[in-house]
Chain A
Amino acid sequence: DAKTTQPNSMESNEEEPVHLPCNHSTISGTDYIHWYRQLPSQGPEYVIHGLTSNVNNRMASLAIAEDRKSSTLILHRATLRDAAVYYCILRDGRGAQKLVFGQGTRLTINP
């Protein structure tokens, strides 16, 4: 499985945008970029995914570099409820089912 690299931790203030980076320099052409997050004392939850184009949904935006070797998850206006560990995961588009979680980025939101 292709590897991802994320900062161990990040901190931001409430109601400000947050940009969570992820490097995946060995990404293959069939890998999708998925983001999950894990709130305290809960199981992980899906946030967003993309292949080549930038993606938006009600939770976040995903900006994918043109060479696909990096991506950024954008929380447009962070709230205290966004404090969580965020995982950037590559999934082989050829049908692999499992998620390979790295260490993720622990996001702290200050009031």
Chain B
Amino acid sequence: DVKVTQSSRYLVKRTGEKVFLECVQDMDHENMFWYRQDPGLGLRLIYFSYDVKMKEKGDIPEGYSVSREKKERFSLILESASTNQTSMYLCASSSDAGTGFTDTQYFGPGTRLTVL
């Protein structure tokens, strides 16, 4: 079974802190994604990566950056956390094998981040 793990289930940080959210997948997937989920707004894509050292902005990249130094690991960075970044953060991965448009995304359990 595909496994996507996230470094923490719950995280509490203070405004202005630098925050790292880590995601690791064990299926050698090419694509990795970071979403945030907020009540009433659903899931929104922050950034994604289709290869090592490659990244693409999603719908709401402001205030975030990402890093993909190794294929299995995709990090989301909040350079200076703010209270409006309090949210559930979900990482996902998918493979390019076969037909890319039918690829399944596998999600991690999520990290609930609270910024005080």
Contacts and interface: CB of A to CB of B under 8 A. Distances in A.
B102 A46 contact: no
Contact of B105 (A93, A99, A102, A104): A99
Contacts of B48: 97-98
Interface residues of B, number: 28
Given A97-B31, A98-B33, A98-B58, A43 B92 contact: yes
Contacts of A94: 101
Interface in B15-60: 31, 33, 35, 40, 42-45, 48, 50, 58-59
A32 B101 contact: yes
A104 B33 CA distance: 20
Interface residues of A, number: 24
A26 interface: no
Contacts of A103: 40, 42
Contacts of B75: none
A49 B102 CA distance: 8
A29 interface: no
Interface stretch (B62-70, B78-86, B106-114): B106-114
Contacts of B92: 43-44, 99
Contacts of B101: 30, 32, 91-96
B105 A101 contact: no
A89 B79 CA distance: 32
B8 interface: no
Contacts of B98: none
Interface of A: 30, 32, 36, 41-46, 49, 91-104
26 contacts: A32-B101, A42-B110, A43-B4, A43-B90, A43-B92, A43-B107, A43-B108, A44-B92, A46-B104, A49-B104, A91-B101, A91-B102, A93-B102, A94-B101, A95-B101, A96-B101, A97-B48, A98-B48, A98-B59, A99-B43, A99-B45, A100-B45, A101-B35, A101-B42, A103-B40, A103-B42
